[in-house]
Amino acid sequence: MRVALVSESFLPHVNGVTGSVVRVLEHLARAGHDATVLAPGTPPGRVHGARVVPLRSVPLPGLGPFRLGLPTARELARELAAFAPDVVHLASPFATGGPAVRAAGRLGLPVVAVYQTDVAGFAERYGLSAAADAAWWHVRAVHGAADLTLAPSRIAAAALTDHGIDRVRLWPRGVDTAAFSPAHHDPALHARLAPGGGVLVGYVGRLAAEKQLEDLRALDGLPGVRLVVVGEGPARPALERALPGARFLGLRTGADLSRLVATLDVAVQTGPHETFCQSAQEAMAAAVPVVAVGAGGVAELVDPSRTGWLYPPGDLAVLRARVADLAGDPAKRRAMGRAARRAVRARTWPVVGEQLLGHYDEARARHSARRTSAPDPAARRPSPSDPAARRPSPSDPDARRPSSRGPSSPGPSSPGRGATSHPGATPSR
């Protein structure tokens, strides 16, 4: 199979979308499939054997190395035609999504769109309800034109169907259970970060406003608790002021990240707009219990009282109480940590990669069936003598009416079968 991935972001920018695409490329190469990546910025020329084509892009102030892709449909169609893929994979499509689905449509290529970023939720977080409505309109336009949409969690799938998007399937993120394992626990590192036998509580991920990391102020003054923050992002200066007692460790990758995650006693996640939350899954794989906000995809990962705790969004007193509960009970932490690893240990990237290949096959079959069942335009073409063939005059209302033609009417929604860190590249989600 030949797969073209059009990604909203890619290396060297490090985030959950990048990490998932890198893992997909790794699986495709291992399974003997050919791939190419079209992505904004200045990506490396090849990753896991796949050629990477840079797309036109512009920087966004305050977002570091992230660049907004601005390709045209013609540019994408040219690259896709040259590669001749069997399927087009859109990774978290937004700015690149519209041109990509138009290009694929012109070439008659099946499209799988992977929903990964809750842009509308981010807009709502800043009180921009009109922007949130516009974001959902755009998401519907892109995903409605795809043959299949993949959502990372049931919560995300429900949000998509609630906003009029169907042909949705569940495709969670995989986890590297070798890279994220309790075997990487480092007692010496723990002693340095939490001297005197303290409890090490940590956040791992991107430092951005939508993560609501200022909520971690609720942990101030908890006896024996040392807070560490791992990751980078535009919110770091403000967070360093808001959390003066926390230790900021910056961006960590590879073995360094594996060791840090496994050395935590408790992992915390405060962002309510996660479509999945790969960092929480990696902590669980490392046998670390998770305290997380009870909203978004992370609420689906954590099983309260078994693999960690959830707290109601905005209820920081409960966040503090849940962390205090685990900080004061080492036996409970160990039991929850063991249960957390059991909960995710079968969700490896090879397993999830095979599920993705199945989704590709379904998208190709759906696309082929639609093309086969579509009426032949030539059979309906009127002859020149047919009155229907005449060109309407400007005064004819039908001449000014927008075409009703659009994406074919989708079938019923059916979330069914079922991204992070590539050890060298993904601490920020």
Q: What is the pLDDT of residue 398?
A: 35
Tens of pLDDT along 137-161? 999 999 999 999 999 999 999 999 9
What is the share, in percent, of the chain residues with pLDDT greater than 90?
76
- Count the Cβ atoms, other than its own, within 10 Å of residue 334: 14
pLDDT of 427: 41
**Res. 202: pLDDT tops 80:** yes
- Give the pLDDT confidence of 224-279 residue by residue, as tens digits: 999 999 999 989 999 999 999 999 999 999 999 999 999 999 999 999 999 999 99
**Which pLDDT belongs to residue 370?**
87
Residue 382 predicted with pLDDT over 70: no
In this structure, the answer to whether residues 211 and 337 fall within a common structural domain is yes
The two structure tokens encoding residue 193: 């970060």
Reported as a pLDDT band with limits 50, 70 and 90, residue 63 is: low
Residue 100, domain CATH: 3.40.50.2000
Q: For the residues 46-54, what does the mean pLDDT come to? A: 97
Mean residue pLDDT of the chain comes to 87
Q: What's at 384, amino acid-wise?
A: P
- The pLDDT-based confidence of 119 (bands split at 50, 70, 90) is confident
pLDDT in tens, 292-323: 999 999 999 999 999 999 999 999 999 999 99
Q: Are residues 96 and 137 in the same domain?
A: yes
Confidence grade of residue 125 (pLDDT, cut at 50, 70, 90)? low
pLDDT at position 266 is: 98
Domain-located, residue 23: yes
Any domain includes 291: yes
Least confidently predicted of 40-49, 180-189, 407-416: 407-416
The secondary structure of residue 112, as a DSSP letter, is: E
One domain, residues 68 and 105: yes
Helical H segments across 164-224, by residue range: 187-193
The reply to whether 92 and 107 lie within a common domain is yes
Look at 80-89, 230-239, 372-381 and tell me which has the smallest mean pLDDT: 372-381
- Same-domain check for residues 134 and 38: yes
Mean pLDDT of 2-31: 94
User: Where is average pLDDT lowest: 216-220, 250-254, 313-317, 390-394?
Assistant: 390-394
Instruction: Provide the residue range defining the domain that includes 15.
Output: 2-174+349-371
In-domain check, residue 168: yes
Tell me what pLDDT residue 35 has: 98
pLDDT value at residue 230? 98
Arithmetic mean of pLDDT, 376-394: 40
Looking at the predicted structure, is the pLDDT value of residue 182 above 50? Answer: yes
Q: Cα torsion at 176, 177, 179, 181 (round to 10°)?
A: 150
168 and 268: one domain? Answer: no
Domain match, 51 and 170 both: yes
Residue 102 pLDDT more than 70?
yes
Same structural domain for residues 202 and 329?
Answer: yes
| Residue 246 within any structural domain of the chain | yes
- pLDDT band at residue 375, thresholds of 50, 70 and 90? low
Q: Which residue has the tokens 């609630």?
A: 162
Q: Which residue has the higher pLDDT, 408 or 341?
A: 341
Do 325 and 236 belong to one domain? yes
Query: Which pLDDT does position 64 carry in this prediction?
Result: 64
Higher pLDDT, 428 or 108: 108
Could you tell me which of 36, 366, 299, 26 has the C-alpha nearest to residue 152? 299
Number of domains present in the structure of the chain: 2
Query: Does 334 lie in the same domain as 198?
Result: yes
Give me the pLDDT at residue 357, please.
98
Tell whether the model's pLDDT for residue 218 goes beyond 90.
Answer: yes
- Where a domain ends, among 344, 362, 391? 344
pLDDT band, residue 388 (cuts 50/70/90):
very low
Note whether 164 and 125 are same-domain residues.
yes
- Residue 263, Cα to own-chain centre: how many angstroms? 26
User: Residue 404 has what pLDDT?
Assistant: 35
In this structure, the answer to whether residues 223 and 362 fall within a common structural domain is: no
